[in-house]
Structure 1
C-alpha cells in the first residue's frame, strides 16, 4: 500500500494536466514502513525523453515521442537520491501520466520499472486528469495493482 495526502495527489494531477498532451513524470519521496510506503513529498520533474537518442539506442521501431514515453534524467535521479538521503528519506516511487490512455502500465513501463518502487499512473483525457492508480512489480517482474490510501 502507498499512503499519500490529497495535496500529493493534486500535485500529480496538476503536473499531468500542465504537460498534456505529453507524458509528465516525477519522483516520490518518503519512508518504507513494513509493507506500506508513506509519501512525504512528490517532486514533478521534466520529461527528458529524447526520441533521437532512443532511436539510436533502442532501434527505430521502439522509439516513441514524449506523448507515449517518459524518462527522468539520470542526473536528476542522482541529485534527488542524495538530497533524499540527507533528509533521511528514500525514493519510494515514480509517477507519470498516460495522455488519452488508461492508468494501466505499458510494456515499456514494465521493462524500465525497478523492484520495490511504486508507480503511480494518472490517465489524462483531453487535458483533464482522471483515473489514478498505483502499481508495483511482483517477484516475476509483473505489475500488480497497489492500494492507495489518503492520509491527512
Structure 2
C-alpha cells in the first residue's frame, strides 16, 4: 500500500493556498522523492489555476466532463509550462533531484472527495491531495491515489515532524 509522507508546514501551505483562492479552486504540485516505502514530499509548489475556455475545449472529450464550464469554482488546470518549470526545478534540486510526486487542489464548499472528472484526468503515479474549503476556511484534507482499475482509493498520509 502506498503512503505519502509530508511535514506539517506542507499541509499548512496547501491550506493557506486553498483559503487564498476561495471561492475558486487552488492547485499545485508536490515535489519529492519516490522510494520503496512510499513518497516523501520535500516541497509544495503552488501554481495558478489556469482553467479557462481553452481548457474546456482541451478536456471536453474526457469522461465526467458533461457539464464543463470555464468556472474555476469547480475545476482546475495546471499549465504545461508550470509542470515543465517544476520538473526543471526538481532536477536542479540539491543535494539530490526531486520528482513531481503529486498534485493538490481544493474543493470549495464541497467534500475532499475526488470527482469523476478528477479521476478521469488523474495519473496513477501521483498522489492527489484534496482540501475541502467551507465558506473560506480550509477543513478536511484527504489524500488519494489510483488503483490498478483506475479508481481512486484513500492513500495514507504520514505527518513527519521536522527534526
Tell me the TM-score normalised to structure 2 length.
0.88
Runs of 4+ in structure 1 over 2 Å off:
54-57, 59-62
Q: Does 1:91 align with 2:93?
A: no
Aligned match of 2:136: 127
Stretch of structure 1 that moved more, 123-132 or 78-87: 78-87
Q: Does 1:69 align with 2:94?
A: no
- What is the RMSD of the two structures over their aligned residues, measured on CA atoms? 1.4
Q: Does 1:151 align with 2:160?
A: yes
Aligned match of 1:53: 54
Partners of 1:54 and 1:73 in 2: how far apart?
Answer: 9
Partners of 1:44 and 1:56 in 2: how far apart?
Answer: 24
Aligned match of 1:139: 148
1:116: Cα distance to partner?
A: 1.0
1:33: Cα distance to partner?
A: 1.5
1:61: Cα distance to partner?
A: 4.4
Partners of 2:85 and 2:136 in 1: how far apart?
Answer: 30
Which sections of structure 2, spanning at least 5 residues, go unmatched? none
Cα deviation, 1:44-85, whole Å, max 9, x if unaligned, reads 1110001x2244441794323100000101111011112112
Partners of 2:107 and 2:124 in 1: how far apart?
Answer: 21
Stretch of structure 1 that moved more, 33-42 or 97-106: 33-42
Partners of 1:110 and 1:35 in 2: how far apart?
Answer: 24
Q: Tell me how many residue pairs correspond in the alignment.
A: 151
Partners of 1:141 and 1:61 in 2: how far apart?
Answer: 19
